[in-house]
Amino acid sequence: MKHRSRRWAAEVVLVLALVASTAALWQPEGSPARVDRDEDYRVYSALLDEMKGWEGEPIPGIIVVVDRTDVTAVPGRERGLARRIQAGYSRAMAENAADREEWKYRRAMGQIGGLASAHVDFEERNLGTLVLENRFRSRFPCRVVSPAGLRRLFEAGNLSAGCVYFSTIGYSEDGTQAVVSFESLMMQQDVLLVRVPGGEWKLARASGGRFVMD
């Protein structure tokens, strides 16, 4: 178990570095805009309420949410290719990895289904990164940190419940469905939420997951 924990921590630090470099590569000039709509935080909160820890056990402590949306949620073959070449991959290795990443994404989107307009909005909204604030209304306590702050927490061993990277949310044209991706425990998970009577959001379907280091 200790060996797995050390390996997981090392992989997390590597992924944090990759995500941070990707955000810098694809972020437009200037300060990123904030996620400001209350509806977005209601969707995020509904998803946080579904969170579980290792082996499906209850969350043991505070959930740490990274304050930047994940620009790798929608890989895009050309973006994935450029990201890997910049990281030092050979052209052949970069193309192979980018193709596999794109295939995993398309498979996951097919698994969750939903209205096409929600998927189109999801892809359009995830071209850049946005800033998240601690406006979640989850049954679990949450802490919002920067990518640099998250790395310091990992290095200090101060994460009891793990961390979450959220994508930006895509909505269907009629506002009844939401597509969102989150990264936690080394896996990218894609989910479809639906609005139920009363205005609350409920998890409808989840993909089988896209493993980060796969």
SS3 per residue for the chain: CHHHHHHHHHHHHHHHHHHHHHHHHHCCCCCCCECCCHHHHHHHHHHHCCCCCHHHCCCCCCEEEECECCCCCCCCHHHHHHHHHHCCCCHHHHHHHHHHHHHHHHHHHHHHCCCHHHHHHHHHHCCCCCECCCCCCCCCCEEEECHHHHHHHHHHCCCCCCEEEECCCEECCCCCEEEEEEEECCEEEEEEEEECCCCCEEEEEECCCEECCC
State pTM to two decimals. 0.80
Residue 31 CA to its chain's centroid (Å): 20
Q: Is the pLDDT of residue 54 over 70?
A: no
> How distant is the alpha carbon of residue 126 from its chain centre?
11
Taking alpha carbons only, the member of 168, 209, 155 closest to residue 68 is 168
Bridge partner residues of 189 (DSSP): 182
210, two tokens: 């896209």
Q: Is the pLDDT of residue 106 over 90?
A: yes
Predicted local distance difference test score (pLDDT) of residue 183 = 87
Percent above pLDDT 70 for the chain? 77
pLDDT at 145 over 60: yes
Mean pLDDT across 36-47: 96
Residue 18 clears pLDDT 60, i.e. is over it = no
Give the confidence band of 53 by pLDDT, cuts at 50, 70, 90. low
- In angstroms, the CA 52 to CA 39 distance is 23
pLDDT at 195: 97
**φ and ψ at 191, to 5 degrees?**
-135, 155
CB burial readout 12-27, b (16+ within 10 A) else e: beebbeebbebbeebb
Return the higher-pLDDT residue of 157 and 206: 206
Higher pLDDT, 116 or 212: 116
* pLDDT value of position 77: 80
Residues whose CB falls within 8 Å of the CB of residue 89, separated by 6 or more in sequence, listed in order: 97
More confident: 83 or 13: 83
Residue 22 reports pLDDT greater than 50 = no
What are 155's two structure tokens? 């290095």
Q: What is the mean pLDDT of the chain?
A: 81
More confident call, 214 vs 32: 32
Contact 136, 44 (CB under 8 A): yes
The reported pLDDT for the residue numbered 2 is 41
> What pLDDT is recorded for position 14?
44
